Amino acid sequence: MSQHMDIITKPRQTILNTLDALTIDQLNTIPVGFNNNIIWNLGHMIAAQCGIWYKRAGLSLPVMVSEEFFETYKPGTKPERFYAADDLNQIRELFFSTLAQFEADRKTDMFDNYPTWTTRYGAELHSVEDAVAFIPFHEGLHIGAIVALRKLV
């Protein structure tokens, strides 16, 4: 599973590094023609990961991701407020701590009964391993959006 985690971790680190030069105002900007901003996309990547790995498995979210965080960034949401520097710091921390928590959780039997389901993109996921393999596709979509947004802010 660690190879899959590298495939998730390295692009996350790269995209965060490319955003270091942007201000919090730029990260919150929603350009004309878009319905979200850079910081929402970052938070959404975490919420989607937690939803796909934990909620789809019928599990509660890890303590480090609150239900409020999940509800703010889950699929179908959009930015509803200005996200402050503290929000960005939380996202930066969760970008990697949630992966570490998942790796620890994966060593238990908590995902043994992961149900089959079909994503909105037509991918059929039969196990948590399938869910892990799906995350880079999903995050690639949002990293693409972030790259486009970065050029406009």
Q: Is the pTM of this model over 0.75?
A: yes
Whole-angstrom distance, CA of residue 22 vs CA of residue 63: 30
Class of domain 2-152: mainly alpha
**Regarding predicted confidence, which is higher, 2 or 114?**
114
Give me the residue label for tokens 């929402």: 40
Give the other-Cβ count within 10 Å of 143's Cβ: 19
Beta bridge partners of 117: 125
User: pLDDT tens-digit profile of 71-124?
Assistant: 999 999 999 999 999 999 999 999 999 999 999 999 999 999 999 999 999 999
Residue extents of the structural domains in the chain: 2-152
Give the pLDDT of residue 11.
Answer: 96
Q: Which tokens is 76 given?
A: 């179908």
SS3 content of the chain, % helix, strand, coil (to 5): 65, 5, 35
